[in-house]
Amino acid sequence: MMLTTLEHPPHRKHWRRKKEFKACKRMLDKIKREQDNLRTHAWSRPASCPVCLEDFSAPPGPGEGAEGTVPSSTADEARASSSSAPSAPLLPGGDAGVGLRRRSGGQEGAKEGSGDGDAKTPVTLRCGHTFCEPCLEQWLDNHTNCPICRQDVSTPPGAPTGKGQPATQQQTSTAEERERAQRAAQEVLNTDLSFRLLMLQRMYPWYLTDDMIGRWTGEARETGTFDWAGTREFQLRDPGVAAQQRESGASGFGGGWGGGHSVGGGGAGGSW
Q: What is the pLDDT along the chain (272 residues), one digit of tens a residue?
A: 455 545 456 677 778 889 999 999 999 999 999 998 888 876 667 899 999 999 999 766 554 333 333 334 444 444 444 333 334 444 433 344 444 543 444 343 333 333 454 689 999 998 889 999 999 999 999 999 999 999 998 865 443 434 444 445 555 578 888 888 888 888 889 999 999 999 999 999 999 999 999 999 999 999 989 999 999 999 999 988 866 776 676 544 444 444 444 333 444 444 56
Sign of CA dihedral 188, 43, 131, 208: negative
123 CA to centre of own chain:
13
The H-assigned helical ranges of the chain are: 9-37, 73-80, 96-105, 108-114, 133-140, 167-203, 210-223, 232-235, 239-248
Amino acid present at 198 = L
Amino acid present at 83 = S
Which candidate, 70, 65, 265, places its Cα nearest to that of 155? 70
Contact 255, 38 (CB under 8 A): no
Contact 195, 268 (CB under 8 A): yes
How confident is the model at residue 131, as a pLDDT? 95
Any domain includes 162: no
Please state, in angstroms and rounded to a whole number, the distance separating the CA atoms of residues 220 and 192.
11
Any domain includes 71: yes
For residue 56, the tally of other CB atoms under 10 A from its CB is: 21
What is the Cβ-side half-sphere exposure of residue 193, based on CA atoms within 13 angstroms? 32
Q: Which domain holds residue 181?
A: 13-156+169-248
Any domain includes 256: no
Any domain includes 105: yes
Please state, in angstroms and rounded to a whole number, the distance separating the CA atoms of residues 39 and 145.
25
Any domain includes 262: no
Any domain includes 267: no
CA distance readout (Å), 177 to 159, 182, 185, 186, 222: 10, 9, 12, 14, 22
In the chain, the N- to C-terminal Cα span, in Å, equals: 50
Any domain includes 208: yes
How confident is the model at residue 179, as a pLDDT? 84
Which candidate, 14, 11, 12, 25, places its Cα nearest to that of 204? 25
To the question of pTM greater than 0.75 for the whole model, the response is no
Q: Please give the tally of structural domains in the chain.
A: 1
Any domain includes 128: yes
Please state, in angstroms and rounded to a whole number, the distance separating the CA atoms of residues 248 and 262.
33
Q: What is the 3-state secondary structure (H, E, C) of 34-98?
A: HHHHHHHHHCCCCCECCCCCCECCCCCCCCCCCCCCCCCHHHHHHHHCCCCCCCCCECCCCCHHH
Contact 202, 190 (CB under 8 A): no
Contact 93, 158 (CB under 8 A): no
